[in-house]
Amino acid sequence: MNSKTIAILGAGVQGLSTAILLLHQGATNVAIISDANVAEFDPSDPTFASPKAGANWQTFAAENDSRLQEYDSITYHALRKLAVVPECGIWRLPGMQFYDSKPQNFQHPWYKRLVEGYEECTQEDLTATKKFGIKYQTVTINVPKYHAWLTDKAKAMGATFVKAKLNHWEDALKYVKADIVINSTGLGSLWLGGIQDQTMYPVRGQIVVVRAPQVKRTISTSSALNGYRGTKNMAEAAAKVTYVIPREDGLVILGGTYQQNNFSMEVDPATTKSIIERCVGICPELLVDGKLPEIVEVKVGLRPGRKGDCRIDAQTLTTSRGRDVVLVNNYGHGGSGYQCSWGCALSVVKLVRQSAGVGVDGAALSKFLTETIDFSSLQAKLNEWVRNKIKLRKKFETMDNQTIVVLGAGVQGLTAALLLLHQKVKRVVIVAESSISEYNKNDPYFASPKAGANWQTYVGNHDYRLQSFDEASYYTLWSLSFLPQCGIMRVPGFQFYDEQPKVFEHPWYARFVKGYGFATEKDLPPSKKFGVRYETVTINVPKYVAWLMERVKAMGGTFVWTKLEHWEDALKHVKANTIINCTALGSSKLRGIEDKDLYPVRGQIVIVRAPQVQRTIGTALELGGSRGDMAQSEETSKVTYVIPREDGLVILGGTYQKNNFNMNVDLQTAQEIMDRCVAVCPELVVNGKLPEVHDHVVGLRPARYGDCRVDSQYLKTSTGREILFVNNYGHGGYGYQSSWGCARSVVTIVRRAIGVAQDEKLKMASANPETGSEPISDILNLTDLQLDPPDNWLSSQPQNSDNLPDFQILTWLKTDEDINAMIDTANGLLHRRVKSEENSTNINSTLIEVSCQTRQKVQEISKNEIVLANPMLKKSKTTACFQQQLAESSIPKPSFMGMGKPTSKYTLATTVSTSQIPKMSGRLISGIPTSRTCSKTIHK
């Protein structure tokens, strides 16, 4: 793609965002052609809407519109991250949406599972005329500042700007000999020759800009336009939409109007008065001492509406001179241009890459955002905030005076309890009806004992919350696999497809799982034509849960075996101030919770004895990329998977039957499962014989609409005592593979709630009373990273050196100088990414994991070099041997087709000057040699 010349028509938010992402992906010839920019534009120009936008994130994507939902979801995460870059002018703050009264049969919107801090408004939030509302954490954008940052960023990355007015899209070729033209002209596409999209129409918006720095929340009223963008004729009420959007510079946008097919660019004084009155009615803090705020400006702009909503597609057109040019359209976003900008830009980049014949990089946006953050600046801000917090806070609570009750003894409850105990909690009591060693097999509410239990994620490429849960758990389970008593086995994992997808996007986890690549022809069964592979783990459930229980007991945890009707019943046995609810499907009936979003997903498995099977296999269906909202179909109800365990037993599955409470074994289903598994795993059959059936098991996965619930609230007991109540349930069939990530979040919630930092050196609370904003640590999830599970309790276990390789398991970042490493992983990566300098050892990009022991060793031998090798290959004493193994290796190497620096994890050997190492202390994810192994490869 770096050989292609790209012309982008339009310098609005869509065009600039697209240009930046293309340049980051390696495009070297990008020109932005426009007759105006935000700094210099004609206010009466009806085609340039970006400078006049209110610009906040509030989605209007309909419940069934997955395409627009994806655009807005991606952009939500991107804007929230860019908020830590001061030059962007993005501000994180609460957003509220008011209703006159609570709608009958009110359904929470789809973005409940996306946004942070979603909940219903309190009475204090609402006004006299509004009786119901919802709120969540969102962002607002200082448009001039953000546009200036986008423009400067594009220029710094190599984009050129051409000022020209185009009558036809082909006119762009007079200025740039482009192979690809991207049309981001907004409403201009209504008139642009060669496009002239007659489904485009203007939506007139008038806003009032006032100075009111006391306003620190966005507010809007729910109207007929909610859930629609360009597909519905708005009612009269929609013509007078009301919203309040404060910016970080103290200015506040008051709106507005939504007048379809109105081309008037004139300010209407009557409308201005109406807007101010309506906004004061929903946001009383606009008035100070009874006075209206100062009016700075009144603006009119035309939103680029389009019937059928925004157009994002590609086509190959022949110019008047007979040359073929790829035309990519990206316009018609209505009033949602900012809140969908990065999601749309990512889609455009995918289309461009496909047209250029290169693969799609699913992590493109995430990489850009990570590299954009100025880590040193953020560390300085963090340190400043910490110093201020220490001055403000007189007394800090500690974990060692807390008594915490955990409801449920499944994998989530036990893991959370174990991590709480490690964090020095005074007393942890697990209250549950039964344990995994003694339970009723027909109990529909205890799923952990019946799980297949391997690590295979189905999280989508842009669901960063669930990604963080699964990624943290992958590292921890992989490390625990070196302890024989855990019953965790490392095996290759395969995911098969019937046919190779026409457009295959590498999954998000390709960047961190070990050994990721394509399945070879030898790996594939006859019925499957394509697949991916990676190193994963499987879990012997009885053995692993027994180990968790023993570790909890050894660290001081206690168990109370009793049945709970109400969550408050637990307090009859333990006087606690905090309760962790890990009751899974039981939360649907647990009084005081009774979560109606929970539902069972029936799973039936067959357990056979087949020690010859040494790989996991799953078939890729339409359920990939989703957890809680899988559509029920014949295909998804018959999922197929093979999960071997370290004791020679193999789990064959399965079924995915929503809202099915049947706990009886269906022998016909069992036969179908056996047939399907043999078809994808021929080694199940030995000498023509099927494996011995050991058992049949039926369990109900605790699924939840909107996915798992990991949050907190304060509940009052019947005696009026306030309890911190932390929820951690609804994980569907993914309780094991998300367990450590969820436990980390639970502990983070507890520590924040009681005002204890994740590292005792940094005394941080959960909010900044001086500014009313979140601390920088919350913005970056630094507290999560400082709390990476688990810590030295693992290394203190009795270990048989004969059974363990030359690795130190789980050494975590702890010192002050490692804060940069924590910030470096703010995008969800939980391992250390270190980039070598451009001219150092001719290496473009290197992934290095260095343990504290290695660091000490390196400092002792500062003039030598160390070879860090891929552990999948045999150990060798020389770089030459590694390179020879690389040349001979048959491991499939995925092609990310990335331009610029390589992103593949198949750099098998790297020589690194030790002058680069001393400041890179960090944890060692199992698989990289520690000092003992490194000492064997030191070159004199």
Rounded CA-CA distance 878/897 in Å is 30
Instruction: Name the pLDDT band for 872 (thresholds 50, 70, 90).
Output: very low
What is the identity of the amino acid at 500? Q
389 neighbors 765 (Cβ within 8 angstroms): yes
Using the structure block, give the residue that is written with the tokens 């970080």: 248
Alpha carbon distance, N-terminus to C-terminus of the chain = 43
CA dihedral sign of residues 707, 713, 716, 717: positive
CA 333-334-339 angle, 5° bins:
60
Instruction: Name the pLDDT band for 834 (thresholds 50, 70, 90).
Output: very low
Strands 294-306 and 692-704, bridge-based pairing? unpaired
Percent of the chain clearing pLDDT 70 (strictly above): 72
Rounded CA-CA distance 10/484 in Å is 60
Provide the 3-class DSSP secondary structure of residue 695.
Answer: strand
User: What is the tens place of the pLDDT at every residue in 738-760?
Assistant: 999 999 889 888 887 776 654 33
Encoded tokens for 468? 């963080």
User: What is the tens place of the pLDDT at every residue in 309-364?
Assistant: 999 999 999 998 889 999 999 999 999 999 999 999 999 999 998 887 776 666 67
User: What is the tens place of the pLDDT at every residue in 190-231?
Assistant: 999 999 999 999 999 999 999 999 999 999 986 533 444 444
Tell me the HSE value of 62 on the side-chain side, using a 13 A CA sphere.
11
CA 474-478-479 angle, 5° bins:
120
With 90 as the cut, is the pLDDT of residue 170 above it?
yes
With 70 as the cut, is the pLDDT of residue 824 above it?
no
Instruction: Name the pLDDT band for 506 (thresholds 50, 70, 90).
Output: confident
Find, among 71, 115, 78, the residue nearest to 94 by Cα.
115
More confident call, 24 vs 876: 24
Beta strands in 170-322 (DSSP E): 180-183, 200-211, 218-221, 243-246, 251-255, 259-260, 294-306, 311-318
Backbone angles phi, psi at 199, to 5 degrees: -85, -5
Angle between helices 464-480 and 739-753 (to 10 degrees): 110
Least confident interval from 53-62, 205-214, 621-630: 621-630
With 60 as the cut, is the pLDDT of residue 70 above it?
yes
- The mean predicted confidence, pLDDT, of the chain is 76
Report whether the peptide linkage leading into residue 654 is cis, meaning its omega lies within 30 degrees of zero.
yes
User: What is the tens place of the pLDDT at every residue in 238-248?
Assistant: 556 899 999 99
480 neighbors 486 (Cβ within 8 angstroms): yes
Find, among 766, 764, 782, the residue nearest to 774 by Cα.
766
Q: Side by side, which strands form the sheet with 5-9? A: 160-163, 29-34, 5-9, 180-183, 324-331, 311-318
Looking at residue 906, its pLDDT comes to 28
Residue 394's H or E segment, with its range, is none
Angle between helices 411-422 and 541-554 (to 10 degrees): 30
User: What is the tens place of the pLDDT at every residue in 134-169?
Assistant: 999 999 999 999 999 999 999 999 999 999 999 999
Max mean pLDDT range (220-224, 255-259, 813-817): 255-259
Instruction: Name the pLDDT band for 714 (thresholds 50, 70, 90).
Output: confident
- In this prediction, residues 421-449 reach a mean pLDDT of 83
The reply to whether the predicted model has a pTM over 0.85 is no
With 50 as the cut, is the pLDDT of residue 863 above it?
no
User: What is the tens place of the pLDDT at every residue in 594-613?
Assistant: 998 899 999 999 999 999 99
Rounded CA-CA distance 223/130 in Å is 13
User: What is the tens place of the pLDDT at every residue in 380-407?
Assistant: 665 565 455 444 443 445 667 789 999 9
Encoded tokens for 889? 């290796």
Looking at residue 868, its pLDDT comes to 28
With 80 as the cut, is the pLDDT of residue 901 above it?
no
Least confident interval from 280-294, 437-451, 475-489: 437-451
32 neighbors 15 (Cβ within 8 angstroms): yes
Q: What share of the chain is helix, strand, coil (3-state, %, to 5)?
A: 30, 25, 45
Angle between helices 341-355 and 364-372 (to 10 degrees): 120
Residue 23's H or E segment, with its range, is helix 13-24
Looking at residue 443, its pLDDT comes to 80
With 50 as the cut, is the pLDDT of residue 12 above it?
yes
Instruction: Name the pLDDT band for 838 (thresholds 50, 70, 90).
Output: very low
Torsion of CA 255, 259, 264, 268, to 10 degrees: -40
Using the structure block, give the residue that is written with the tokens 């000999």: 177
With 90 as the cut, is the pLDDT of residue 907 above it?
no
Rounded CA-CA distance 328/349 in Å is 10
Looking at residue 231, its pLDDT comes to 40
Rounded CA-CA distance 454/476 in Å is 13
Return the number of other C-beta atoms located less than 10 Å from residue 614's C-beta. 12
With 90 as the cut, is the pLDDT of residue 590 above it?
yes
Looking at residue 378, its pLDDT comes to 62
With 90 as the cut, is the pLDDT of residue 627 above it?
no
**CA 69 to chain CA mean position, Å:** 15
